[in-house]
């Protein structure tokens, strides 16, 4: 593999941007309490933005965030004080807000702050806030027809990480999220099961989305919208639309890709390939992107690729866990919140008849692996045809080592019944780019198997990112490394279980689906450790996550607890993130080496 050439233009022509908007834990909505500071703080600015957008989209439910500093809002200052690290300041603010909202003459004020009340009752890690607003909510819920709030359509609320967690790291991360954004959003809530990963994820996310870097903030958010829209993830699109406006983005861009600059339009082909068929990227000559009047610098392009992979991965996680939108999160995508809360509304668990038998079987295999110390027992002297055949077999969705009766309980052809299935229209962000997922063909003459031995993250991708975006490279590396090695040495109720072969099988199966081959891995382990249904679920998570249903989530073929399923989803989507990024970085390197 040729040495990566040093890129001279490390900064974009758009200047260095220091982020002031909220991170992924900062879900900006139509509420006062949840809005972070922005340059558009006057009510006249918001009216201009709103009327401009609504003029072109009369059917939209979009409502832009209001400034908490608006002089017309008597509660704005108190809501700001709820985000104070001082307990006494928060308690005083709670008392003042409750006093004003419960005054008989302030019923109109109460109605306009229902979203704030719901958020503070259900998404705060501070007991003094939760208790007071939960009590208030219980007195008005029936009168104002406020729906019961759910974090995910797949998991019972009682099983989720508590907002007032006893774990000190989880507690700190939840509190930091609230103090910054006024709520603990649903992604952060579920990742609270794995606080050490959450800490690393937020560090890398903040670096590529908020801190100084090649791309300006509005462009970062818009690229996130484009990537999320490829997987029809209305939740992320809605969140990013609001953050896009907070960062000073032109609202006309939210009307669709027909209204964006040509430079961004040129990126659409890269977005769709990375989302659906990343193995096509090495055949793309990116000169059309980096030359001419609307050229991207190499630094900007690499930054964009990191963003695309980040949000493809996040979209997969959202759907894999059935995450629902936070209350009050409106969107120009005409998301019907009432419908989204009713989807998959049954809290009844779907029984998996073969799970117990398969769980016993895989635990026996794991114990045997540990005893024999056969973590990497593939012999290089074996026939090449066998190696190719095992790689081919690993991608066979119907091949596994589970009980045969589990077949047919899940299907890749399942009509979407997930969190947003059929609700959100993403066509304006996807334009006429109709590329969709097609399975990687190991015998194709149009593309080749990607050898990770020739181009890997550790040896090559990291180097390229570190030259262009030096602060981001170690954070991304830490995120990848940690999620791959993260273990609690348990499988369901059994402890002292080394799950490395199982976790490794998930990681390498995802990259096999994406056309990547690790020469030092024994691909027999994929079908040895992964049930057919689990492979269905994982493949959907990284190829067409909007098709994941509650049945897919419930019938994985193993007895796994919700936090273990969350761990499984993280393994899958982070492996996907690395695979897509490798394809992108390899394409950039190939172009640089040809110059």
Whether the per-residue pLDDT at 60 is higher than 70: the answer is no
Three-class DSSP labels, 436-452:
CCCCCCCCCCCCCCEEC
Residue 400: band (very low, low, confident or very high) from pLDDT cuts 50, 70, 90: low
Whether 304 and 215 have beta carbons less than 8 Å apart is answered as yes
Q: Is 90 exceeded by the pLDDT of residue 301?
A: yes
Q: SS3 for 252?
A: helix
Residue 303 pLDDT > 70: yes
**Which pLDDT band, with edges at 50, 70 and 90, does 397 fall under?**
confident
Give the model confidence (pLDDT) of 221-238 as tens digits: 999 999 999 999 999 999
Whether residue 7 is predicted with pLDDT greater than 70 in this model: the reply is no
Tens digits of residue pLDDT in 318-332 = 999 999 998 887 544
The crossing angle, in degrees rounded to 10, of helices 298-320 and 234-246 is 140
Average pLDDT over residues 299-311: 98
Tell me the H-state helices in 398-543: 427-430, 462-468, 472-485, 500-513, 524-529, 532-543
Q: Could you please report the per-residue DSSP string of 317-348?
A: HHHHTTBPPPTT---TT---HHHHHHTT---S
Q: What is the pLDDT of residues 367-392, one digit of tens each?
A: 777 666 654 555 544 445 477 777 77
- Give CA–CA dist 401/388, Å, rounded: 20
- Whether 321 sits among the annotated catalytic residues: the reply is no
- The answer to whether residue 351 scores a pLDDT higher than 70 is no
For strands 450-451 and 490-491, give the pairing.
unpaired
Least confident piece of the model among 15-29, 165-179, 189-203, 560-574: 15-29
| pLDDT band, very low/low/confident/very high, at 39 (cuts 50, 70, 90) | very low
Q: Are strands 516-517 and 450-451 parallel, antiparallel or unpaired?
A: parallel
Average pLDDT over residues 288-315: 97
Buried b / exposed e over 74-100, threshold 16 CB at 10 Å, is ebbebbbbbbeeeeeebbebbeebbeb
Give the angle 584-590-594 at the CA atoms, nearest 5°. 150
pLDDT in tens, 98-144: 999 999 999 999 999 999 999 999 999 999 999 999 999 999 999 99
State pLDDT tens for residues 139-164. Answer: 999 999 998 889 999 999 999 999 99
Q: Which residue has the tokens 């108190």?
A: 78
145: left (phi over 0), alpha (psi -120 to 50) or beta: left
pLDDT tens digits for range 239-255: 999 999 999 999 999 99
pLDDT of residue 426: 83
Q: What is the pLDDT of residues 498-548, one digit of tens each?
A: 889 999 999 999 999 999 999 999 999 999 999 999 999 999 999 999 999
Task: Give CA–CA dist 240/221, Å, rounded.
Answer: 6
Rounded to an integer, the average pLDDT of 402-428 is 50
pLDDT grade, residue 48 (50/70/90)? very low
Share of the chain above pLDDT 90, in %: 64
- What's residue 107's pLDDT? 93
Distance CA 88, CA 96 (A): 12
How much is the pLDDT for 354? 74
The two three-digit tokens of residue 316, written as one number: 């997969």
Q: Which of 233, 517, 566, 574 is catalytic?
A: 233
Report which of 197, 168, 202 is spatially closest to residue 185, judged by C-alpha positions.
202
pLDDT at res. 412 = 55
| Residues paired with residue 450 on neighbouring β-strands, in sequence order | 516
Q: From CA 264, how far away is CA 267, in angstroms rounded?
A: 5
pLDDT score at 401? 56
* Confidence label for 66 from pLDDT (cuts 50, 70 and 90): very low
Residue 197: pLDDT band with limits 50, 70, 90: very high
Mean pLDDT (the chain, rounded): 81
Instruction: Map tokens 């295999």 to a residue.
Output: 365
| pLDDT of 207 over the 90 cut | yes
């Amino acid at each position: 593999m040729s040495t990566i050439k040093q890129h001279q233009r490390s900064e974009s022509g758009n200047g260095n941007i220091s982020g002031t908007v909220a991170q992924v834990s900062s879900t900006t909505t139509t509420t006062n309490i949840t809005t972070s500071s922005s340059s558009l703080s006057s009510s006249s600015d918001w009216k201009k933005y709103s009327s401009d957008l609504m003029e072109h989209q009369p059917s939209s439910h979009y409502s832009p965030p209001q400034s908490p500093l608006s002089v017309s809002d008597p509660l704005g200052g108190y809501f700001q004080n709820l985000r104070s690290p001082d307990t006494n300041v928060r308690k005083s603010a709670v008392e003042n807000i409750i006093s004003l909202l419960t005054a008989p003459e302030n019923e109109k004020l109460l109605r306009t702050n229902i979203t704030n009340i719901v958020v503070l009752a259900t998404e705060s890690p501070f007991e003094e806030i939760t208790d007071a607003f939960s009590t208030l909510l219980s007195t008005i819920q029936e009168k104002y027809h406020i729906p019961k709030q759910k974090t995910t359509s797949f998991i019972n609320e009682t099983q989720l990480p508590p907002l007032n967690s006893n774990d000190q790291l989880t507690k700190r991360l939840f509190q930091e999220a609230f103090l910054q954004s006024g709520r603990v959003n649903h992604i952060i809530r579920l990742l609270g099961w794995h606080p050490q990963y959450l800490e690393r994820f937020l560090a890398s996310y903040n670096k590529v989305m908020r801190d100084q870097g090649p791309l300006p903030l509005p462009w970062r958010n818009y690229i996130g919208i484009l990537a999320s829209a490829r997987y029809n993830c209305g939740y992320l699109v809605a969140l990013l639309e609001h953050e896009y406006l907070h960062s000073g983005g032109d609202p006309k861009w939210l009307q669709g890709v027909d209204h964006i600059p040509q430079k961004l339009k040129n990126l659409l082909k890269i977005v769709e390939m990375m989302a659906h068929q990343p193995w096509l990227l090495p055949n793309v000559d990116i000169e059309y992107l980096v030359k001419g009047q609307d050229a991207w610098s190499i630094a900007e392009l690499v930054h964009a690729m990191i963003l695309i992979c980040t949000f493809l991965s996040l979209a997969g996680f959202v759907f894999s866990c059935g995450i629902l939108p936070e209350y009050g999160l409106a969107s120009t995508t005409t998301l019907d919140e009432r419908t989204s809360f009713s989807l998959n509304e049954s809290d009844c668990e779907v029984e998996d008849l073969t799970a117990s038998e398969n769980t016993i079987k895989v635990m026996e295999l794991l114990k045997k692996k540990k005893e024999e110390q056969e973590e990497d027992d593939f012999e290089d002297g074996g026939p090449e045809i066998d190696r190719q055949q095992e790689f081919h077999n690993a991608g066979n969705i119907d091949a596994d080592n589970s009980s045969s009766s589990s077949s047919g309980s899940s299907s890749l052809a399942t009509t979407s019944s997930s969190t947003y299935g059929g609700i959100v229209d993403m066509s304006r962000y996807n334009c006429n780019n109709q590329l969709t997922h097609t399975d990687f063909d190991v015998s194709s003459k149009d593309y080749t198997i990607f050898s990770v031995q020739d181009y890997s993250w550790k040896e090559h991708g990291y180097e390229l990112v570190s030259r262009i975006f030096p602060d981001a490279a170690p954070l991304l590396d830490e995120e990848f490394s940690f999620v791959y090695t993260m273990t609690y040495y348990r499988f369901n109720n059994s402890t002292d279980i080394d799950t490395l072969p199982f976790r490794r099988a998930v990681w390498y199966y995802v990259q096999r689906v994406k056309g990547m081959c690790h020469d030092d891995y024994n691909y027999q382990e994929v079908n040895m450790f992964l049930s057919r249904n689990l492979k269905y679920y994982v493949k959907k998570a990284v190829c067409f996550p909007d098709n994941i249903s509650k049945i897919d989530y419930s019938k994985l073929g193993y007895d796994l607890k919700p936090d273990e399923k969350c761990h499984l989803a993280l393994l899958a989507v982070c492996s996907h993130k690395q695979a897509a990024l490798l394809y992108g970085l390899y394409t950039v390197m190939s172009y640089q080496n040809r110059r």
